[in-house]
Amino acid sequence: MKFERPRGTRDFSPSDMERRDYILSQLRKVFESYAFERIETPVFEHTELFTTKSGQEITENLYTFKDKSGRDLCLRPELTASVARMYVSELAHMRKPVKLYYFGPMYRYERPQKGRYREFWQAGAELIGVEDYGADAEIVCLAADCLDRLGLRYELRLSHLGIIRGLLSDFGLSEEKQDEVLGLLDRDELEQVGDFIRKDAEYNLLKNLMEKKSSTYKDHSKLLKTISSELKGYGDAIFAIGELEKIVDLLVGQEINFIVDLGLSRGLSYYTDFVFDVRVEGLGAQDQVCGGGRYDNLIELFGGQPTPAVGFAFGFDRLVEALKLQGISFPEETFHVAVIPTTYEEDTVKAPTNDKEYTVKDYAVKIARNLRKEGFSVDYDVAGHKLKDQLSHASQAGVKYAVIIGPRELEKGKVVLRNMATKEEKQVEIDKLPKKIH
């Protein structure tokens, strides 16, 4: 019988995993350099956790199932809702801000295509408990520093949903209707927004706003001033513009490059205010590698005290793809040492280190284990290939040293240490081996 992978899933080879692990290690270093701490939450949750507020796009694509006791469960499609749930039940007592990061697989029943999978990984961060715009700016700096550390070229866009929400609210739309409109805007379905806004003047005001962009500091201030005057009378929208301006100023001061794009919307309906995303050229239709923003109502909605929060998630698989696309290489980890017996025969020799009888191969296993305990990464060939074959494999794999173990040297308590790069060989006492390898 032959089995295939479920649609939209992938297998990762050792070389894929080497790359993925390296990228994750870099992200973790940056998250931790900002004093964010890692958490984990279950891969499945109560379905209601996501149907409550995550928005139509998420709920339509849930992998749901009933367990044997009839509970409605689903595979998690994202992690912000889980973090908010965990915060309310476990972390609310912690000193604010609570700074958390996570990495793990998410599941969405989407139509698979390049860069869009049914099982994909996100690495994300959440900063909980601070309303000040300094928190929004810190989250953006964190995302930008992660991308810079990886060496990626990217485009960062910022916006503030309070501007659109403020307008829509003044046009008389309820919060649910606003969520629907934001969902449509996120999918670039501006025409359908006309069904929600009856007055042409109001529709045109919104359409005009969605087209506004700026890319330099001078442009940012000019743009924000222009829209403030265009939206005169819409108090909530003007307030949101002021909030965005503060974040923009702080990020300009930190020399972060970005675009203010008021056409940026976010499909997840718990976002209330500041939002941002990151795109990478060349990834095709699925070019967004990161999305984030402020969600000040979610924790209260999940039964906690009103608690402001801001966060983001990287689409990890897209980051991996983007790095490949931009030809960014990474240091490959390799075995440091190959321990090679010259014979796999069953003849024994007396080892002077402990006076016991060993086959050469068994003594090689002992040396390999000792070196591993000393912290070296050691390969020992259980398949028993010939010496010549093992040496050429070690050389191809970029191994630094071969420790060659033969019966004659072993009886004297020695082995041959071969520097794979220079091909230089010398006899070394077994006890001194760890010191001779570096």
The C-alpha angle with vertex 319 and arms to 11 and 123, in degrees rounded to 5, equals: 85
Interatomic CA distance for residues 40 and 204, integer angstroms:
45
268 near ligand AMP (CB under 6 A): yes
State in angstroms the smallest separation of the CB of 426 from ligand AMP: 52
- Candidates 62, 76, 78, 241: give the one binding ligand AMP (CB under 6 A): 78
- Candidates 318, 400, 414, 418: give the one binding ligand AMP (CB under 6 A): 318
Q: Which residue number, 259 or 340, has a Cβ lying nearer to ligand AMP?
A: 259
274 near ligand AMP (CB under 6 A): no
Q: Which residue number, 317 or 381, has a Cβ lying nearer to ligand AMP?
A: 317
317 near ligand AMP (CB under 6 A): yes
108 near ligand AMP (CB under 6 A): yes
The residue of the chain with the least Cβ separation from ligand AMP equals 315
State in angstroms the smallest separation of the CB of 230 from ligand AMP: 29
- Candidates 129, 311, 315, 341: give the one binding ligand AMP (CB under 6 A): 315
Q: Which residue number, 123 or 391, has a Cβ lying nearer to ligand AMP?
A: 123
Interatomic CA distance for residues 7 and 274, integer angstroms:
35
Size of the site for ligand AMP (CB under 6 A): 17
28 near ligand AMP (CB under 6 A): no
Q: Which amino acid would we find at residue 270?
A: Y
SS3 string, the chain, reads CCCCCCCCCCCCCHHHHHHHHHHHHHHHHHHHHCCCEECCCCCEEECHHHHCCCCHHHHHCCCEEECCCCCEEEECCCCHHHHHHHHHHHHCCCCCCEEEEEEEEEECCCCCECCECCEEEEEEEEEECCCCHHHHHHHHHHHHHHHHHHCCCCEEEEEEHHHHHHHHHHCCCCHHHHHHHHHHHHCCCHHHHCCCCCCHHHHHHHHHHHCCEECCHHHHHHHHHHHHHHCCCCHHHHHHHHHHHHHHHHHHHCCCCCEEECCCCCCCCCCCCEEEEEECCCCCCCCEEEEEEECCCHHHHCCCCCCCEEEEEEEHHHHHHHHHHCCCCCCCCCCCEEEEECCCCCCEEECCCCCCEEEHHHHHHHHHHHHHHCCCCEEECCCCCCHHHHHHHHHHCCCCEEEEECHHHHHCCEEEEEECCCCCEEEEEHHHHHHHCC
Q: Which residue number, 269 or 307, has a Cβ lying nearer to ligand AMP?
A: 269
366 near ligand AMP (CB under 6 A): no
Q: Which residue number, 290 or 360, has a Cβ lying nearer to ligand AMP?
A: 290
| Residues in 110-129 that interact with ligand AMP by CB under 6 A | 110, 115-117, 120, 122
295 near ligand AMP (CB under 6 A): no
288 near ligand AMP (CB under 6 A): yes
The pair phi, psi for residue 293, each rounded to 5°, is 165, -170
50 near ligand AMP (CB under 6 A): no
State in angstroms the smallest separation of the CB of 127 from ligand AMP: 16
157 near ligand AMP (CB under 6 A): no
State in angstroms the smallest separation of the CB of 252 from ligand AMP: 24
Tokens 């050229």, located at residue: 281
State in angstroms the smallest separation of the CB of 166 from ligand AMP: 22
State in angstroms the smallest separation of the CB of 259 from ligand AMP: 16
99 near ligand AMP (CB under 6 A): no
Interatomic CA distance for residues 188 and 434, integer angstroms:
62
55 near ligand AMP (CB under 6 A): no
- Candidates 240, 313, 364, 405: give the one binding ligand AMP (CB under 6 A): 313
State in angstroms the smallest separation of the CB of 9 from ligand AMP: 11
Stretch that binds ligand AMP, among 182-190, 253-261, 284-292, 323-331 (CB under 6 A): 284-292
State in angstroms the smallest separation of the CB of 121 from ligand AMP: 8
324 within 8 A of 23, measured Cβ to Cβ: no
62 near ligand AMP (CB under 6 A): no
Question: Which residues are near ligand AMP by CB under 6 A?
Answer: 78, 108, 110, 115-117, 120, 122, 268, 288-291, 313, 315, 317-318
